[in-house]
Amino acid sequence: MAPKRVLCGYGVDLDAVANWINTCDGSKQNPTNVSRGVFGATVGVDRLLKLFAKYEIKATWFTPAHTIESFPAQVGRIRDAGHELGLHGYTHEYPAQLTAAQQRDVLAKSIAVLTDFCGGARPRGYTAPAWATSKELIPQLEEFGVVYDHSFMHHDVQMHWAPDTSASDWVETNHAHDAASWMRPMSKLKPSKIVEIPANWHLDDWPPFQPVLGKPSHGYVDTDVVFRLWKQQFDFAYREYDQFVFPISIHPQVSGKPHIILLHERIIEYINGFEGVEWMPMADMAQEFLDGKITGASIEGGVDL
Ligand SMILES: [Zn+2]
């Protein structure tokens, strides 16, 4: 039996105001929503920095370049505390809604801003805003020398090579056409050179805790319920796998609220009761995978067409 190893980590999406002002069509955002982002970049950041310091956790802060340029003092405190900064768009743009050229321009600009902010050290990781990815994403991350991604859901607790989004093909249904037009299998998945650290909506603070008018986001779930959901996912993975990753995704404007800070204290203390647990930034998880120090999964599916 392999020794028990559990790589746990927080991916903190430091969206600040960027996720609110990314209205996609130029429509206006109201100042109260923008103020929720300011709360995240200030009060939320301070509370999370204190939480991570208490448990000696180094996290990965996926930070839109807009946040760095708008809140340099706050992001500087994160950087100077030894946390990792990762890529998360410029103004939290969804790759799914951009042209290939727009996606490339956003990546180039955000890499330049993060690299400059970190004294020349290039960012190693990326997570897509709202996990709304595109077919161009993985080849572009390879092109820009990004090491790992945290946007896909092929697995939930095992790292693997991210399938190349541009190589995978499928036919969406369109009821305006004959059924014969869409009845085809999916093409074979082909691995890329990007390490995937799985994304997981069930380990994310936004859907249960962030009320957004008109959006499918609940906002008022009891933290006892979410504690049980996160605990059950951890318990199952610990029972089923000798080695696995447990990446939790949070937002300072959500997790900076008092009741959710208390939830994080509870889940960290619960997880820390298990043998083999290590907390680390996602760049370190990816490096463990690249060095062959932890097992992962191989993702298979599709057929040769
Ligand atoms: Zn985000």
| Residue 199, pLDDT score | 98
Cβ(139)–Cβ(126) under 8 Å?
A: no
Quote the ligand 1 centre to 15 CA distance (angstroms): 5
Quote the ligand 1 centre to 139 CA distance (angstroms): 21
Quote the ligand 1 centre to 89 CA distance (angstroms): 9
C-beta neighbour count of 157 within 10 angstroms:
22
Quote the ligand 1 centre to 86 CA distance (angstroms): 11
Quote the ligand 1 centre to 246 CA distance (angstroms): 19
- Report the predicted TM-score, pTM, of the whole model to 2 decimal places: 0.96
Quote the ligand 1 centre to 179 CA distance (angstroms): 38
C-beta neighbour count of 7 within 10 angstroms:
25
Quote the ligand 1 centre to 254 CA distance (angstroms): 11
Q: Return the CA Rg of the chain.
A: 19
| Residue 168, pLDDT score | 84
Cβ(35)–Cβ(9) under 8 Å?
A: no
Quote the ligand 1 centre to 200 CA distance (angstroms): 13
Please enumerate in sequence order all residues whose Cβ is within 8 A of that of 181, keeping only pairs 6 or more positions apart, or say none: 171, 174
Quote the ligand 1 centre to 286 CA distance (angstroms): 20
Quote the ligand 1 centre to 105 CA distance (angstroms): 18
Quote the ligand 1 centre to 19 CA distance (angstroms): 6
Calculate ∠ Cα 49-52-55, nearest 5°: 150
Quote the ligand 1 centre to 250 CA distance (angstroms): 9
Quote the ligand 1 centre to 300 CA distance (angstroms): 28
Quote the ligand 1 centre to 239 CA distance (angstroms): 31
Phi and psi at residue 21, to the nearest 5°: -85, -5
Quote the ligand 1 centre to 14 CA distance (angstroms): 7
Exposed e or buried b per residue across 36-53, where buried means at least 16 C-beta atoms within 10 angstroms of its C-beta:
bbbbbbbebbebbbebbe
What is the full per-residue pLDDT of the chain (305 aa) written as tens digits? 668 999 999 999 999 999 999 999 999 999 999 999 999 999 999 999 999 999 999 999 999 999 999 999 999 999 999 999 999 999 999 999 999 999 999 999 999 999 999 999 999 999 999 999 999 999 999 999 999 999 999 999 999 999 999 988 999 999 999 999 999 999 999 999 999 999 999 999 999 999 887 776 688 899 999 999 999 999 999 999 999 999 999 999 999 999 999 999 999 999 999 999 999 999 999 999 999 999 999 999 999 99
Quote the ligand 1 centre to 251 CA distance (angstroms): 7
Quote the ligand 1 centre to 212 CA distance (angstroms): 14
Quote the ligand 1 centre to 61 CA distance (angstroms): 10
C-beta neighbour count of 289 within 10 angstroms:
23
The CA distance from 68 to 60, in Å, is 14
- Output the six-digit token pair for 40: 């995240």
Quote the ligand 1 centre to 44 CA distance (angstroms): 14
Cβ(287)–Cβ(245) under 8 Å?
A: no
DSSP the chain: -PPPEEEEEEEEE--TTHHHH--SS-----HHHHHHHHHIIIIIHHHHHHHHHHTT---EEEE-HHHHHH-HHHHHHHHHTT-EEEE--SS---GGGS-HHHHHHHHHHHHHHHHHHTTTPPP-EE--GGG---TTHHHHHHHTT--EE----S-SS--EEEE-TTT-------TTS-GGGT--PPBPP-EEEEEE----GGGBSHHHH---TTSS------HHHHHHHHHHHHHHHHHH-SEEEEEEEE-HHHHTSHHHHHHHHHHHHHHTTSTTEEE--HHHHHHHHHTTSS--------B--
Query: CA 11 from chain center: how many Å?
Result: 6
Identify the structural domains of the chain with CATH numbers, from first to last. Answer: 5-170+189-290 (3.20.20.370)
The CA distance from 244 to 241, in Å, is 6
| Residue 217, pLDDT score | 65
Quote the ligand 1 centre to 150 CA distance (angstroms): 12
Per residue in 243-298, pLDDT (tens digit) is 999 999 999 999 999 999 999 999 999 999 999 999 999 999 999 999 999 999 99
Please enumerate in sequence order all residues whose Cβ is within 8 A of that of 273, keeping only pairs 6 or more positions apart, or say none: none
The CA distance from 81 to 73, in Å, is 12
Quote the ligand 1 centre to 160 CA distance (angstroms): 23
Quote the ligand 1 centre to 132 CA distance (angstroms): 10
Quote the ligand 1 centre to 130 CA distance (angstroms): 6
